[in-house]
Chain A
Amino acid sequence: MPLVDGLPEEEQSAKLAVENVSKRFHTGRRQQDVHALDGVTLQVAEGEFVCLVGPSGCGKSTLLNIIAGLEMPDSGQVLADGAPILGPGRHRLVMFQESGLFPWLDVFGNVMFGLKLKEGLTNAERRKVAQFYIKLVGLEKFADANIHELSGGMKQRAALARALAPNPRVLLMDEPFAALDALTREQLYGDIQRIWAARKKTIVFVTHNVREAVCLGDRVVLFSPNPGRIRQEFHIPLPRPRDINSVELAGYSSQITKALKGILHDGDAAAE
Protein backbone atom coordinates (compact mmCIF):
# COMPACT_ATOMS: atom_id res chain seq x y z
CA MET A 1 0.00 0.00 0.00
CA PRO A 2 1.78 3.14 -1.16
CA LEU A 3 1.50 6.15 1.11
CA VAL A 4 0.58 9.52 -0.32
CA ASP A 5 3.25 12.19 -0.44
CA GLY A 6 3.22 14.87 2.19
CA LEU A 7 2.02 12.64 4.98
CA PRO A 8 3.86 13.18 8.25
CA GLU A 9 6.66 10.80 9.16
CA GLU A 10 5.52 7.47 10.48
CA GLU A 11 5.68 7.57 14.25
CA GLN A 12 7.21 4.66 16.06
CA SER A 13 4.90 1.94 17.26
CA ALA A 14 4.87 1.46 20.98
CA LYS A 15 6.00 -1.23 23.28
CA LEU A 16 3.34 -1.90 25.88
CA ALA A 17 4.15 -3.41 29.24
CA VAL A 18 1.28 -4.43 31.51
CA GLU A 19 2.79 -5.01 34.92
CA ASN A 20 0.90 -6.91 37.60
CA VAL A 21 -2.37 -5.06 37.01
CA SER A 22 -5.35 -5.69 39.30
CA LYS A 23 -8.78 -4.11 39.19
CA ARG A 24 -11.96 -4.64 41.23
CA PHE A 25 -15.38 -3.19 40.56
CA HIS A 26 -17.50 -2.35 43.55
CA THR A 27 -21.04 -3.06 42.57
CA GLY A 28 -23.70 -2.03 45.02
CA ARG A 29 -26.27 -4.46 43.70
CA ARG A 30 -24.31 -7.67 43.65
CA GLN A 31 -23.42 -9.45 46.84
CA GLN A 32 -19.77 -9.57 45.79
CA ASP A 33 -17.36 -7.21 44.13
CA VAL A 34 -16.25 -8.24 40.66
CA HIS A 35 -12.60 -9.11 40.55
CA ALA A 36 -12.07 -8.05 36.95
CA LEU A 37 -8.30 -8.36 36.77
CA ASP A 38 -5.90 -10.11 39.13
CA GLY A 39 -2.17 -9.65 38.72
CA VAL A 40 -2.13 -9.53 34.93
CA THR A 41 1.26 -9.14 33.26
CA LEU A 42 1.62 -8.87 29.51
CA GLN A 43 4.23 -7.57 27.09
CA VAL A 44 3.32 -6.30 23.65
CA ALA A 45 6.13 -5.69 21.17
CA GLU A 46 6.33 -2.85 18.68
CA GLY A 47 4.07 -3.45 15.71
CA GLU A 48 2.67 -6.62 17.22
CA PHE A 49 -0.95 -7.67 16.74
CA VAL A 50 -2.21 -9.22 19.99
CA CYS A 51 -5.70 -10.62 20.47
CA LEU A 52 -7.25 -10.97 23.93
CA VAL A 53 -9.81 -13.78 24.08
CA GLY A 54 -11.93 -15.13 26.87
CA PRO A 55 -15.46 -15.64 28.16
CA SER A 56 -17.44 -12.55 29.15
CA GLY A 57 -16.46 -11.13 32.49
CA CYS A 58 -12.82 -12.21 32.19
CA GLY A 59 -11.59 -8.60 32.28
CA LYS A 60 -10.27 -8.38 28.72
CA SER A 61 -12.25 -5.20 27.98
CA THR A 62 -11.25 -3.76 31.33
CA LEU A 63 -7.60 -4.33 30.49
CA LEU A 64 -8.13 -2.58 27.15
CA ASN A 65 -9.72 0.42 28.92
CA ILE A 66 -6.80 0.56 31.33
CA ILE A 67 -4.31 0.53 28.44
CA ALA A 68 -6.40 3.29 26.82
CA GLY A 69 -6.17 5.29 30.05
CA LEU A 70 -9.95 5.44 30.37
CA GLU A 71 -9.76 3.50 33.61
CA MET A 72 -7.09 3.28 36.30
CA PRO A 73 -5.86 0.00 37.78
CA ASP A 74 -6.18 -0.55 41.56
CA SER A 75 -2.61 -1.79 41.60
CA GLY A 76 0.16 -2.39 39.08
CA GLN A 77 0.78 -0.19 36.08
CA VAL A 78 0.87 -0.08 32.31
CA LEU A 79 3.88 1.39 30.52
CA ALA A 80 3.83 2.68 26.99
CA ASP A 81 7.43 3.00 25.73
CA GLY A 82 8.54 2.87 29.33
CA ALA A 83 6.32 5.75 30.52
CA PRO A 84 3.38 4.96 32.83
CA ILE A 85 -0.10 5.59 31.39
CA LEU A 86 -1.91 8.17 33.51
CA GLY A 87 -4.87 9.01 31.27
CA PRO A 88 -6.16 8.86 27.73
CA GLY A 89 -3.84 10.13 25.05
CA ARG A 90 -3.96 10.36 21.33
CA HIS A 91 -1.09 7.91 20.97
CA ARG A 92 -3.48 5.15 21.96
CA LEU A 93 -6.76 5.35 20.12
CA VAL A 94 -9.72 3.07 20.69
CA MET A 95 -12.26 1.48 18.37
CA PHE A 96 -15.40 0.39 20.17
CA GLN A 97 -18.02 -2.23 19.40
CA GLU A 98 -20.46 0.52 18.55
CA SER A 99 -18.67 2.87 16.21
CA GLY A 100 -19.05 5.86 18.54
CA LEU A 101 -19.05 8.10 15.49
CA PHE A 102 -20.49 11.56 16.13
CA PRO A 103 -23.87 11.95 14.43
CA TRP A 104 -23.57 15.75 14.24
CA LEU A 105 -20.60 15.44 11.85
CA ASP A 106 -20.34 13.75 8.47
CA VAL A 107 -17.73 11.05 7.80
CA PHE A 108 -15.06 13.60 6.89
CA GLY A 109 -15.85 15.67 9.97
CA ASN A 110 -15.52 12.61 12.18
CA VAL A 111 -12.12 11.72 10.75
CA MET A 112 -11.04 15.35 11.15
CA PHE A 113 -12.10 15.44 14.82
CA GLY A 114 -8.98 13.80 16.20
CA LEU A 115 -6.75 15.49 13.64
CA LYS A 116 -7.92 18.94 14.69
CA LEU A 117 -6.76 18.14 18.22
CA LYS A 118 -3.33 17.23 16.93
CA GLU A 119 -0.92 20.13 16.93
CA GLY A 120 1.77 20.95 14.44
CA LEU A 121 -0.33 20.41 11.32
CA THR A 122 -1.81 22.99 8.97
CA ASN A 123 -5.47 22.61 8.11
CA ALA A 124 -4.57 21.71 4.54
CA GLU A 125 -2.38 18.89 5.84
CA ARG A 126 -5.17 17.71 8.12
CA ARG A 127 -7.59 17.54 5.22
CA LYS A 128 -5.09 15.62 3.17
CA VAL A 129 -4.48 13.12 5.95
CA ALA A 130 -8.23 12.68 6.51
CA GLN A 131 -8.80 12.07 2.81
CA PHE A 132 -5.95 9.57 2.77
CA TYR A 133 -7.42 7.46 5.56
CA ILE A 134 -10.97 7.69 4.25
CA LYS A 135 -9.62 6.31 0.97
CA LEU A 136 -7.60 3.66 2.83
CA VAL A 137 -10.78 2.23 4.37
CA GLY A 138 -12.60 2.48 1.05
CA LEU A 139 -15.08 5.22 1.95
CA GLU A 140 -13.91 7.93 -0.46
CA LYS A 141 -17.37 8.09 -2.03
CA PHE A 142 -18.96 8.54 1.38
CA ALA A 143 -16.84 11.33 2.85
CA ASP A 144 -19.85 13.66 2.86
CA ALA A 145 -22.31 11.02 4.07
CA ASN A 146 -24.15 11.39 7.35
CA ILE A 147 -23.49 8.69 9.93
CA HIS A 148 -27.06 7.38 9.97
CA GLU A 149 -26.82 6.72 6.23
CA LEU A 150 -23.95 4.23 6.64
CA SER A 151 -24.32 0.47 7.05
CA GLY A 152 -22.84 -1.22 10.12
CA GLY A 153 -19.70 -2.25 8.24
CA MET A 154 -19.22 1.22 6.77
CA LYS A 155 -19.58 2.74 10.22
CA GLN A 156 -16.79 0.56 11.55
CA ARG A 157 -14.65 1.46 8.54
CA ALA A 158 -15.23 5.14 9.26
CA ALA A 159 -14.41 4.55 12.93
CA LEU A 160 -11.20 2.82 11.86
CA ALA A 161 -10.26 5.78 9.67
CA ARG A 162 -11.00 8.13 12.56
CA ALA A 163 -8.78 6.08 14.89
CA LEU A 164 -5.93 5.78 12.37
CA ALA A 165 -5.91 9.39 11.15
CA PRO A 166 -4.12 11.03 14.11
CA ASN A 167 -1.46 8.34 13.61
CA PRO A 168 -1.57 6.75 17.07
CA ARG A 169 1.19 4.39 18.14
CA VAL A 170 -1.27 1.87 19.50
CA LEU A 171 -4.67 0.91 18.19
CA LEU A 172 -6.99 -0.61 20.77
CA MET A 173 -9.98 -2.47 19.41
CA ASP A 174 -12.81 -3.61 21.68
CA GLU A 175 -14.86 -6.23 19.80
CA PRO A 176 -15.14 -3.84 16.86
CA PHE A 177 -16.77 -6.36 14.53
CA ALA A 178 -19.04 -8.17 17.01
CA ALA A 179 -22.21 -6.44 15.83
CA LEU A 180 -21.62 -7.07 12.12
CA ASP A 181 -22.85 -9.85 9.85
CA ALA A 182 -20.40 -12.61 8.86
CA LEU A 183 -19.83 -11.44 5.29
CA THR A 184 -19.04 -7.85 6.29
CA ARG A 185 -16.78 -9.15 9.03
CA GLU A 186 -14.75 -11.24 6.58
CA GLN A 187 -14.24 -8.20 4.36
CA LEU A 188 -13.03 -6.22 7.35
CA TYR A 189 -10.59 -8.98 8.36
CA GLY A 190 -9.00 -8.51 4.96
CA ASP A 191 -9.02 -4.71 5.30
CA ILE A 192 -7.55 -4.66 8.78
CA GLN A 193 -4.70 -7.01 7.80
CA ARG A 194 -3.96 -4.93 4.73
CA ILE A 195 -3.95 -1.70 6.74
CA TRP A 196 -1.91 -3.23 9.54
CA ALA A 197 0.67 -4.43 7.00
CA ALA A 198 0.83 -0.93 5.51
CA ARG A 199 0.92 1.13 8.71
CA LYS A 200 2.52 -1.35 11.17
CA LYS A 201 0.62 -0.27 14.26
CA THR A 202 0.77 -2.04 17.58
CA ILE A 203 -2.74 -3.46 17.90
CA VAL A 204 -4.48 -4.90 20.94
CA PHE A 205 -7.70 -6.52 19.84
CA VAL A 206 -10.37 -7.81 22.23
CA THR A 207 -12.81 -10.45 21.00
CA HIS A 208 -14.76 -13.48 22.16
CA ASN A 209 -14.51 -14.99 18.67
CA VAL A 210 -11.58 -17.44 18.61
CA ARG A 211 -11.40 -17.76 14.80
CA GLU A 212 -11.31 -13.99 14.50
CA ALA A 213 -8.45 -13.86 16.98
CA VAL A 214 -6.46 -16.54 15.14
CA CYS A 215 -7.11 -14.86 11.80
CA LEU A 216 -5.79 -11.50 12.97
CA GLY A 217 -3.30 -11.99 15.79
CA ASP A 218 0.41 -12.71 15.93
CA ARG A 219 -0.43 -13.90 19.40
CA VAL A 220 -3.68 -14.93 21.09
CA VAL A 221 -3.90 -14.39 24.85
CA LEU A 222 -6.55 -16.46 26.60
CA PHE A 223 -8.17 -15.01 29.75
CA SER A 224 -10.13 -16.82 32.44
CA PRO A 225 -12.75 -15.09 34.61
CA ASN A 226 -13.36 -14.64 38.36
CA PRO A 227 -10.74 -13.35 38.92
CA GLY A 228 -9.61 -12.18 35.47
CA ARG A 229 -6.25 -13.78 34.75
CA ILE A 230 -4.16 -14.73 31.76
CA ARG A 231 -4.62 -18.46 31.32
CA GLN A 232 -2.54 -19.32 28.28
CA GLU A 233 -0.84 -17.74 25.28
CA PHE A 234 -0.72 -19.02 21.72
CA HIS A 235 1.66 -17.88 18.98
CA ILE A 236 0.11 -17.95 15.54
CA PRO A 237 2.98 -18.26 13.02
CA LEU A 238 0.67 -18.47 9.96
CA PRO A 239 1.67 -16.41 6.90
CA ARG A 240 -0.36 -13.32 5.99
CA PRO A 241 -2.76 -12.37 4.60
CA ARG A 242 -4.78 -15.08 6.31
CA ASP A 243 -8.08 -16.46 5.18
CA ILE A 244 -10.44 -17.12 8.06
CA ASN A 245 -11.77 -20.22 6.29
CA SER A 246 -8.38 -21.91 5.81
CA VAL A 247 -7.67 -25.34 7.27
CA GLU A 248 -4.46 -24.32 9.07
CA LEU A 249 -6.32 -21.54 10.81
CA ALA A 250 -9.07 -23.95 11.83
CA GLY A 251 -6.45 -26.17 13.48
CA TYR A 252 -5.25 -23.34 15.72
CA SER A 253 -8.72 -22.18 16.58
CA SER A 254 -9.92 -25.65 17.57
CA GLN A 255 -6.91 -25.95 19.87
CA ILE A 256 -7.71 -22.60 21.50
CA THR A 257 -11.44 -23.35 21.64
CA LYS A 258 -10.62 -26.54 23.54
CA ALA A 259 -8.65 -24.54 26.09
CA LEU A 260 -11.50 -22.02 26.30
CA LYS A 261 -14.01 -24.81 26.94
CA GLY A 262 -11.75 -26.06 29.71
CA ILE A 263 -12.00 -22.63 31.34
CA LEU A 264 -15.79 -22.60 31.04
CA HIS A 265 -15.93 -26.10 32.52
CA ASP A 266 -13.76 -25.02 35.46
CA GLY A 267 -16.11 -22.09 35.97
CA ASP A 268 -19.15 -24.39 36.06
CA ALA A 269 -17.42 -26.73 38.50
CA ALA A 270 -16.55 -23.81 40.76
CA ALA A 271 -20.13 -22.54 40.68
CA GLU A 272 -21.53 -25.90 41.82
Chain B
Amino acid sequence: MKRLFHATLFFLGLLLVWHLVVRAKVWSPILLPSPASVGLYLRDAVRDGSLWEATLVTMRRLLVGYFIGILIGLPLGLVTAASKFAEDTIGVLALGLQTLPSVCWIPLALLWFGQTEAAMLFVVVMGTMWSVVLATDNGVRSIPPIYARAARTMGSKGLHRWTHVLLPASLPFLVSGTKQGWAFAWRSLMAAEIYVTILTGFGLGHLLHYGRELNAMDQVIGIMLIIVVIGLLADKVLFAPWERFLHRRWGTGKR
Protein backbone atom coordinates (compact mmCIF):
# COMPACT_ATOMS: atom_id res chain seq x y z
CA MET B 1 0.00 0.00 0.00
CA LYS B 2 2.84 2.32 0.95
CA ARG B 3 4.64 1.37 -2.26
CA LEU B 4 1.55 2.11 -4.34
CA PHE B 5 1.36 5.48 -2.62
CA HIS B 6 4.99 6.23 -3.46
CA ALA B 7 4.51 5.25 -7.08
CA THR B 8 1.36 7.36 -7.41
CA LEU B 9 3.05 10.34 -5.82
CA PHE B 10 6.05 10.00 -8.13
CA PHE B 11 3.99 9.93 -11.31
CA LEU B 12 1.73 12.79 -10.18
CA GLY B 13 4.92 14.76 -9.51
CA LEU B 14 6.17 13.94 -13.00
CA LEU B 15 2.88 15.18 -14.50
CA LEU B 16 3.13 18.36 -12.45
CA VAL B 17 6.69 19.06 -13.67
CA TRP B 18 5.55 18.44 -17.25
CA HIS B 19 2.60 20.80 -16.73
CA LEU B 20 4.81 23.52 -15.22
CA VAL B 21 7.37 23.26 -18.04
CA VAL B 22 4.58 23.72 -20.59
CA ARG B 23 3.16 26.64 -18.58
CA ALA B 24 6.61 28.28 -18.46
CA LYS B 25 6.62 28.17 -22.31
CA VAL B 26 10.21 26.87 -22.47
CA TRP B 27 9.43 25.10 -25.75
CA SER B 28 6.79 25.77 -28.35
CA PRO B 29 3.52 23.91 -27.55
CA ILE B 30 3.84 22.26 -30.97
CA LEU B 31 6.94 20.48 -29.74
CA LEU B 32 5.75 19.86 -26.19
CA PRO B 33 1.98 19.64 -25.77
CA SER B 34 0.44 19.97 -22.31
CA PRO B 35 -0.65 16.90 -20.33
CA ALA B 36 -4.22 18.13 -20.74
CA SER B 37 -4.07 18.17 -24.55
CA VAL B 38 -2.58 14.67 -24.59
CA GLY B 39 -5.43 13.59 -22.32
CA LEU B 40 -7.93 15.19 -24.68
CA TYR B 41 -6.42 13.36 -27.67
CA LEU B 42 -6.62 10.03 -25.83
CA ARG B 43 -10.25 10.71 -24.86
CA ASP B 44 -11.19 11.46 -28.48
CA ALA B 45 -9.22 8.46 -29.76
CA VAL B 46 -11.07 6.20 -27.34
CA ARG B 47 -14.43 7.77 -28.32
CA ASP B 48 -14.01 7.38 -32.09
CA GLY B 49 -12.67 3.84 -31.57
CA SER B 50 -9.40 4.44 -33.42
CA LEU B 51 -7.26 3.75 -30.36
CA TRP B 52 -9.06 0.53 -29.47
CA GLU B 53 -8.88 -0.70 -33.04
CA ALA B 54 -5.16 0.08 -33.36
CA THR B 55 -4.43 -1.63 -30.04
CA LEU B 56 -6.29 -4.76 -31.14
CA VAL B 57 -4.44 -4.87 -34.46
CA THR B 58 -1.10 -4.44 -32.72
CA MET B 59 -1.79 -6.96 -29.97
CA ARG B 60 -2.93 -9.58 -32.46
CA ARG B 61 0.28 -9.21 -34.47
CA LEU B 62 2.37 -9.19 -31.33
CA LEU B 63 0.84 -12.26 -29.69
CA VAL B 64 0.79 -14.35 -32.87
CA GLY B 65 4.40 -13.46 -33.72
CA TYR B 66 5.55 -13.90 -30.14
CA PHE B 67 4.06 -17.36 -29.72
CA ILE B 68 5.38 -18.52 -33.08
CA GLY B 69 8.79 -17.22 -31.98
CA ILE B 70 8.60 -19.21 -28.74
CA LEU B 71 7.24 -22.29 -30.49
CA ILE B 72 10.27 -22.31 -32.78
CA GLY B 73 12.83 -20.88 -30.38
CA LEU B 74 12.25 -23.13 -27.39
CA PRO B 75 12.78 -26.50 -29.13
CA LEU B 76 15.73 -25.05 -31.07
CA GLY B 77 17.30 -23.96 -27.77
CA LEU B 78 16.82 -27.46 -26.34
CA VAL B 79 18.45 -28.91 -29.43
CA THR B 80 21.46 -26.59 -29.30
CA ALA B 81 21.93 -27.42 -25.60
CA ALA B 82 21.72 -31.15 -26.25
CA SER B 83 23.87 -31.56 -29.34
CA LYS B 84 27.39 -30.31 -30.01
CA PHE B 85 26.63 -30.23 -33.73
CA ALA B 86 23.54 -28.06 -33.26
CA GLU B 87 25.50 -25.83 -30.91
CA ASP B 88 28.19 -25.21 -33.51
CA THR B 89 25.66 -24.54 -36.27
CA ILE B 90 22.27 -23.27 -35.09
CA GLY B 91 23.80 -21.94 -31.87
CA VAL B 92 26.27 -19.71 -33.68
CA LEU B 93 23.55 -18.58 -36.11
CA ALA B 94 21.29 -17.66 -33.18
CA LEU B 95 24.06 -15.75 -31.45
CA GLY B 96 24.76 -13.80 -34.63
CA LEU B 97 21.19 -13.03 -35.55
CA GLN B 98 20.29 -12.10 -31.98
CA THR B 99 22.75 -9.24 -32.13
CA LEU B 100 21.13 -8.00 -35.34
CA PRO B 101 18.72 -5.17 -34.45
CA SER B 102 15.29 -6.29 -35.58
CA VAL B 103 14.75 -3.11 -37.65
CA CYS B 104 17.34 -4.57 -39.99
CA TRP B 105 14.91 -7.34 -40.98
CA ILE B 106 12.41 -4.84 -42.37
CA PRO B 107 13.94 -4.18 -45.82
CA LEU B 108 14.24 -7.94 -46.36
CA ALA B 109 10.71 -8.57 -45.12
CA LEU B 110 9.32 -5.92 -47.47
CA LEU B 111 11.07 -7.38 -50.49
CA TRP B 112 10.08 -10.94 -49.67
CA PHE B 113 6.53 -10.45 -48.51
CA GLY B 114 5.56 -7.01 -49.78
CA GLN B 115 3.40 -4.72 -47.70
CA THR B 116 1.51 -7.54 -46.01
CA GLU B 117 0.75 -8.97 -42.58
CA ALA B 118 3.28 -11.68 -43.36
CA ALA B 119 6.04 -9.08 -43.43
CA MET B 120 5.01 -7.84 -39.97
CA LEU B 121 4.85 -11.35 -38.63
CA PHE B 122 8.25 -12.20 -40.07
CA VAL B 123 9.89 -9.24 -38.35
CA VAL B 124 8.32 -10.06 -34.98
CA VAL B 125 9.23 -13.76 -35.20
CA MET B 126 12.82 -12.94 -36.14
CA GLY B 127 13.01 -10.45 -33.29
CA THR B 128 11.71 -12.98 -30.77
CA MET B 129 12.98 -16.42 -31.59
CA TRP B 130 16.76 -15.96 -31.49
CA SER B 131 16.76 -14.54 -28.00
CA VAL B 132 14.46 -17.39 -26.89
CA VAL B 133 16.87 -19.91 -28.45
CA LEU B 134 19.78 -18.42 -26.53
CA ALA B 135 17.88 -18.18 -23.24
CA THR B 136 16.67 -21.79 -23.45
CA ASP B 137 20.12 -23.04 -24.40
CA ASN B 138 21.66 -21.10 -21.51
CA GLY B 139 18.96 -22.34 -19.14
CA VAL B 140 19.48 -26.02 -19.87
CA ARG B 141 23.25 -25.63 -19.62
CA SER B 142 22.99 -23.93 -16.24
CA ILE B 143 21.17 -26.84 -14.61
CA PRO B 144 23.31 -28.24 -11.78
CA PRO B 145 24.46 -31.67 -13.05
CA ILE B 146 23.38 -33.27 -9.76
CA TYR B 147 19.70 -33.00 -10.79
CA ALA B 148 20.30 -35.06 -13.90
CA ARG B 149 22.42 -37.57 -11.95
CA ALA B 150 19.84 -37.96 -9.20
CA ALA B 151 17.10 -38.35 -11.82
CA ARG B 152 19.15 -40.94 -13.73
CA THR B 153 19.60 -43.13 -10.67
CA MET B 154 15.84 -43.02 -10.10
CA GLY B 155 15.28 -44.31 -13.61
CA SER B 156 14.44 -41.11 -15.50
CA LYS B 157 15.65 -41.14 -19.08
CA GLY B 158 14.74 -40.12 -22.62
CA LEU B 159 11.63 -37.99 -22.96
CA HIS B 160 10.82 -38.23 -19.25
CA ARG B 161 14.21 -36.71 -18.46
CA TRP B 162 13.40 -33.73 -20.69
CA THR B 163 9.85 -33.13 -19.53
CA HIS B 164 10.26 -33.90 -15.82
CA VAL B 165 13.81 -32.80 -15.09
CA LEU B 166 15.55 -30.60 -17.63
CA LEU B 167 12.61 -28.36 -18.56
CA PRO B 168 11.42 -27.68 -15.01
CA ALA B 169 15.01 -27.27 -13.83
CA SER B 170 15.60 -24.58 -16.44
CA LEU B 171 12.32 -22.80 -15.68
CA PRO B 172 13.96 -19.74 -14.08
CA PHE B 173 15.95 -19.20 -17.26
CA LEU B 174 12.99 -19.94 -19.51
CA VAL B 175 10.89 -17.30 -17.76
CA SER B 176 13.56 -14.64 -18.01
CA GLY B 177 14.26 -15.74 -21.59
CA THR B 178 10.66 -15.54 -22.75
CA LYS B 179 10.36 -12.22 -20.96
CA GLN B 180 13.33 -10.94 -22.87
CA GLY B 181 11.77 -12.38 -26.01
CA TRP B 182 8.61 -10.42 -25.27
CA ALA B 183 10.60 -7.17 -25.00
CA PHE B 184 12.27 -7.91 -28.32
CA ALA B 185 8.97 -8.77 -29.99
CA TRP B 186 7.43 -5.53 -28.79
CA ARG B 187 10.38 -3.48 -30.09
CA SER B 188 10.42 -5.27 -33.45
CA LEU B 189 6.71 -4.78 -34.00
CA MET B 190 6.83 -1.06 -33.22
CA ALA B 191 9.75 -0.63 -35.61
CA ALA B 192 7.88 -2.57 -38.26
CA GLU B 193 4.66 -0.61 -37.83
CA ILE B 194 6.45 2.73 -37.98
CA TYR B 195 8.35 1.82 -41.14
CA VAL B 196 5.82 -0.30 -42.98
CA THR B 197 2.40 0.94 -43.93
CA ILE B 198 0.01 -1.83 -44.80
CA LEU B 199 -3.64 -1.59 -45.57
CA THR B 200 -4.84 -4.64 -43.63
CA GLY B 201 -4.75 -2.79 -40.32
CA PHE B 202 -3.48 0.32 -38.60
CA GLY B 203 -1.56 -0.47 -35.44
CA LEU B 204 -0.27 1.74 -32.67
CA GLY B 205 2.99 2.23 -34.56
CA HIS B 206 1.03 3.65 -37.49
CA LEU B 207 -0.81 6.07 -35.24
CA LEU B 208 2.57 7.16 -33.92
CA HIS B 209 3.92 7.56 -37.43
CA TYR B 210 0.95 9.60 -38.63
CA GLY B 211 1.11 11.72 -35.50
CA ARG B 212 4.54 12.78 -36.63
CA GLU B 213 3.45 13.32 -40.26
CA LEU B 214 0.62 15.56 -39.06
CA ASN B 215 2.79 17.32 -36.48
CA ALA B 216 0.29 16.13 -33.87
CA MET B 217 2.56 15.88 -30.87
CA ASP B 218 -0.38 15.23 -28.53
CA GLN B 219 -1.06 12.09 -30.57
CA VAL B 220 2.62 11.06 -30.59
CA ILE B 221 2.97 11.37 -26.82
CA GLY B 222 -0.46 9.85 -26.16
CA ILE B 223 0.38 6.75 -28.20
CA MET B 224 3.78 6.47 -26.55
CA LEU B 225 2.02 6.42 -23.19
CA ILE B 226 -0.31 3.66 -24.38
CA ILE B 227 2.69 1.62 -25.57
CA VAL B 228 4.33 1.98 -22.17
CA VAL B 229 1.13 0.98 -20.36
CA ILE B 230 0.70 -2.13 -22.55
CA GLY B 231 4.29 -3.12 -21.80
CA LEU B 232 3.70 -2.79 -18.06
CA LEU B 233 0.41 -4.70 -18.20
CA ALA B 234 1.96 -7.54 -20.21
CA ASP B 235 4.65 -7.85 -17.59
CA LYS B 236 2.04 -8.13 -14.85
CA VAL B 237 -0.36 -10.44 -16.70
CA LEU B 238 2.04 -12.72 -18.59
CA PHE B 239 5.10 -12.94 -16.37
CA ALA B 240 4.24 -11.99 -12.80
CA PRO B 241 2.41 -15.30 -12.08
CA TRP B 242 5.44 -17.30 -13.26
CA GLU B 243 7.79 -15.15 -11.27
CA ARG B 244 5.65 -15.60 -8.17
CA PHE B 245 5.77 -19.37 -8.69
CA LEU B 246 9.56 -19.26 -9.05
CA HIS B 247 9.83 -17.12 -5.97
CA ARG B 248 7.73 -19.53 -3.93
CA ARG B 249 9.45 -22.70 -5.11
CA TRP B 250 13.04 -21.66 -5.66
CA GLY B 251 13.08 -18.87 -3.08
CA THR B 252 14.65 -16.58 -5.66
CA GLY B 253 13.90 -13.01 -6.67
CA LYS B 254 12.34 -10.16 -4.80
CA ARG B 255 8.85 -9.42 -3.44
Are B155's CB and A94's CB within 8 A?
Answer: no
Are B146's CB and A98's CB within 8 A?
Answer: yes
B-facing mask of A69-97, CB < 8 A → 1, else 0?
11000000000000000001110111010
Are B146's CB and A88's CB within 8 A?
Answer: no
A70 — nearest CB in chain B belongs to which residue? B149
Are A88's CB and B171's CB within 8 A?
Answer: no
For B146, list chain A residues within 8 Å (CB).
96, 98, 100
CB of B79 to closest CB in A, whole Å: 22
Q: Within residues 128 to 186 of chain A, which ones have a CB less than 8 A from any CB in chain B?
A: 146-149, 162, 166
For A92, list chain B residues within 8 Å (CB).
153
- Chain B interface size band reads 20 to 34
Indicate the member of B149, B165, B168 with the most A CB atoms within 10 Å.
B149
Q: Within residues 216 to 247 of chain B, which ones have a CB less than 8 A from any CB in chain A?
A: none
Contacting residue for A104 out of B153, B155, B160, B171, CB 8 A? B171
**Given A100-B146, A149-B251, residue A93 in contact with residue B154 (CB < 8 A):** yes
Are B149's CB and A148's CB within 8 A?
Answer: no
Are B150's CB and A100's CB within 8 A?
Answer: yes
Q: Is there a chain A Cβ closer than 8 Å to B6's Cβ?
A: no
Contacting residue for B150 out of A94, A118, A148, A166, CB 8 A? A94
Q: Within residues 90 to 128 of chain B, which ones have a CB less than 8 A from any CB in chain A?
A: none
Q: Is there a chain B Cβ closer than 8 Å to A102's Cβ?
A: yes
Q: Is there a chain A Cβ closer than 8 Å to B25's Cβ?
A: no
CB of B32 to closest CB in A, whole Å: 50
Interface of A (DSSP majority class): loop
Task: Report Cα–Cα, A114/B153, bound state, in Å.
Answer: 9
Q: Is there a chain A Cβ closer than 8 Å to B2's Cβ?
A: no
Are A146's CB and B249's CB within 8 A?
Answer: yes
Q: Is there a chain A Cβ closer than 8 Å to B176's Cβ?
A: no
Are B154's CB and A114's CB within 8 A?
Answer: yes
- Chain A interface size band reads 20 to 34
**Given A100-B147, A102-B168, residue A146 in contact with residue B248 (CB < 8 A):** yes
B250 — nearest CB in chain A belongs to which residue? A103
Contacting residue for B250 out of A89, A90, A114, A148, CB 8 A? A148
Task: Report Cα–Cα, A96/B150, bound state, in Å.
Answer: 8
Indicate the member of B146, B154, B165, B249 with the most A CB atoms within 10 Å.
B154
For A118, list chain B residues within 8 Å (CB).
155
For A104, list chain B residues within 8 Å (CB).
168-169, 171, 249-250
For B249, list chain A residues within 8 Å (CB).
103-104, 106, 146-148
Q: Is there a chain B Cβ closer than 8 Å to A1's Cβ?
A: no
**Given A96-B146, A100-B146, residue A166 in contact with residue B154 (CB < 8 A):** yes
Indicate the member of A101, A114, A149 with the most B CB atoms within 10 Å.
A114
CB of A17 to closest CB in B, whole Å: 20
Q: Is there a chain B Cβ closer than 8 Å to A18's Cβ?
A: no
Task: Report Cα–Cα, A207/B150, bound state, in Å.
Answer: 19
Task: Report Cα–Cα, A118/B249, bound state, in Å.
Answer: 25
Contacting residue for A93 out of B144, B153, B156, B171, CB 8 A? B153
Task: Report Cα–Cα, A36/B147, bound state, in Å.
Answer: 24
Are B153's CB and A117's CB within 8 A?
Answer: no
For B152, list chain A residues within 8 Å (CB).
70, 88
Q: Is there a chain B Cβ closer than 8 Å to A68's Cβ?
A: yes
A101 — nearest CB in chain B belongs to which residue? B150
Q: Is there a chain B Cβ closer than 8 Å to A113's Cβ?
A: yes
Task: Report Cα–Cα, A25/B17, bound state, in Å.
Answer: 68
CB of A257 to closest CB in B, whole Å: 30
CB of A107 to closest CB in B, whole Å: 12
**Given A102-B165, A103-B250, A104-B249, residue A96 in contact with residue B149 (CB < 8 A):** yes
List residues of A whose CB falls within 8 A of some B CB. 68-70, 88-90, 92-94, 96, 98, 100-106, 113-114, 117-118, 146-149, 162, 166
- 11 A–B contacts from the bound complex (CB under 8 Å): A70-B153, A88-B155, A90-B154, A94-B153, A96-B149, A102-B147, A102-B151, A102-B169, A103-B249, A104-B249, A117-B155
Other than the given A96-B150, A146-B251, 10 more pairs (CB < 8 A) read A94-B153, A96-B149, A103-B169, A113-B154, A113-B164, A114-B155, A117-B155, A117-B156, A146-B248, A146-B249
